[in-house]
Amino acid sequence: MKLIKNCISIICFRLFIFIILPSFILFSLFSCKSDNDESILISDIVHAEKLTGLNFSPDQRELMQRSLENNLRMYRSMREHTIDNSIPPALIFNPVPPGFSPPSPVWERNPGLPERVEMPETLEDLAFYNVSELSVLIRNRQVTSVELTSMYLERLKKHNEVLKCVVTLTEDLAMEQAERADRELAEGIYRGPLHGIPYGIKDLFAVKGYPTTWGATPYKDQIIDTNATVVEKLEEAGAVLLGKMTLGALAMGDVWFADTTRSPWNPEIGSSGSSAGSASATAAGLVAFSIGTETLGSIVSPSTRCGTTGLRPTFGRVSRAGAMALSWSMDKVGPVCRSAHDAALVFEAIHGPDGKDLSLMDFPFNFNANAGIGELKIGFFEDFFEEEYRGRGNDLATLEVLREMGVNLIPVQIDTDIPVSSLRIILNAEAAAAFDDLTLSGDDDMLVRQNRGAWPNIFRTARFIPAVEYLQANRFRQILAYEFNQLIKDYDVIVTPSYGGNQLLITNLTGHPCVVVPNGFDDNKNPTSISFLGNLFDEATLLTFVKAYQDNTGFHLHQPPGFGTEN
């Protein structure tokens, strides 16, 4: 009996050593996946279902298993290749709905430049002059571009210590362009209203020979050896580039890699963003105008905080070639100025196709500064004005001013069943794709902001947006674009609180133009704003109407204490 027990023990031991143990080891190796393992377990699918709100049966999961493993191999294969931020996807958003006919103002073009402008007592008093006024002074040789450029450069150096609105001064380039502008004028060559006018540009546009930082630590030493189309167009118009203005890191907010950009009206608070430096510098009289961008409020928000006039043009109006991409279907380029008149002069120079940005469409811009507004049909989002919000009193006063101007304000409202807020996943998914290399490399840890609402977390979270949901959101967007166009096409302009309801998200999704202007101050003496919406590709009518409003008010003429020249 003892011999039998010993034999059984030996057999069991050998079974364990040669069969059970190796099987267990092999099972463990295949079950415990490394980072590079392409096997997917049924439990992985179950967990993924929770992230996407889905529920498949056991049989369905088993069928999916092999296909998901194949997808994973394809994902990893693509990640072995680098895609430059400048490469767009093969999907281009078109804001034009079926049956759309672009509006065409009946008036002739007229930039509306004054015949004569008097020089002030000191050169620095020109700091807050409008572009139209500066243009006449330069054209009439009452001031040189070099003098104007030198004055603005000195102001930038002096006040940037407080405002933190400049990443890089382009002083050598500015003086070279200013000298050329004066030389050409002496030779009888005049390029138009922007000839010799100094400006600043948001530091997500490439300028040869200078860093293009995108406001973010990982890119603070980045040199892009090209000029953005907007830079080229402004150079052709004779404008003088003073410097590259700050932006919140990767076009969000006012926090960039070195500091927070400040509002000149209250340097204790940020200037908002992401066109933070563009609005701050323009409001403080450090540049004659600036160029900004908007994806979801990045012109409207800092213009509100700093008291500037911002134009967010129709999607597909201004080239984004040479600019950082955040959302290929939502990014828009526009001027940040002191007045709607100035915005029109700048927009005239920068709009139109360039053969590079495939989203661009070629429609005329027939701006007439002196056109009447009596025949225009004006609506307003009545229900938005009935809500309680900061600046409501100033907005209601704006409506009264318009009525006193003879404007018949017609109540309108946005009526849609589209889940508008859900469509933000479009921006999040596109932004995550634009900066996927940052997420995969772990360099997103270098960004200053790391909270739940900051880009690093948004990029990572967006990785779990299903492609089907992204496409479904864009299908809803197509319906929304049609619905909103059906609403606004019966009006020339619609007046709205700048943050009223969900109009800011809606119009950034549909691609409609907006002009935001200062309309007073709150109890803390900070600027407030109101916004005017227009039809697709009809910036001319929109800017003409807003100019008429500003001609009857004057809020855009105020200068921030400590930076102004009026006292």
Residues carrying an active site annotation: 202, 274, 298
Contact 396, 496 (CB under 8 A): no
- Distance (Å, rounded) from C-alpha 358 to C-alpha 508? 19
Tokens 């930038």, residue located: 156
- Distance (Å, rounded) from C-alpha 137 to C-alpha 141? 6
- Distance (Å, rounded) from C-alpha 567 to C-alpha 562? 10
Contact 332, 319 (CB under 8 A): no
Three-class DSSP category at 198? strand
Helix axes 340-350, 229-236, angle to 10 degrees: 100
Beta strands in 360-492 (DSSP E): 378-381, 409-412
**Burial of residue 251, with CB atoms counted within 10 A of its CB: 0-12 exposed, 13-18 middle, 19 or more buried:** buried
- Distance (Å, rounded) from C-alpha 428 to C-alpha 295? 11
Tokens 């410097």, residue located: 243
Token readout for 368 is: 């007439």
- Give helix then strand counts, H and E, for the chain: 19, 13
- The letter for the amino acid at 337 is C
- Distance (Å, rounded) from C-alpha 450 to C-alpha 435? 15
> Strand 289-294 to strand 198-202: parallel, antiparallel, or no bridges (unpaired)?
parallel
Token readout for 319 is: 């080239």
- Distance (Å, rounded) from C-alpha 319 to C-alpha 240? 19
Tokens 């902001």, residue located: 449
Nearest to 302 by CA among 215, 400, 431, 402: 215
Contact 312, 336 (CB under 8 A): no
Token readout for 535 is: 């039809």
Give the strand order in the sheet containing 514-521. 166-169, 240-245, 198-202, 289-294, 332-337, 309-312, 514-521, 527-534, 493-497, 378-381, 409-412
- Distance (Å, rounded) from C-alpha 54 to C-alpha 367? 52
Token readout for 281 is: 């510098």
Nearest to 448 by CA among 162, 221, 218: 218
The string of DSSP codes covering 493-560 is EEEEETT-TTHHHHHHHHT--EEEEEEEE-TTS-EEEEEEEE-TT-HHHHHHHHHHHHHT--GGG---
- Distance (Å, rounded) from C-alpha 540 to C-alpha 304? 22
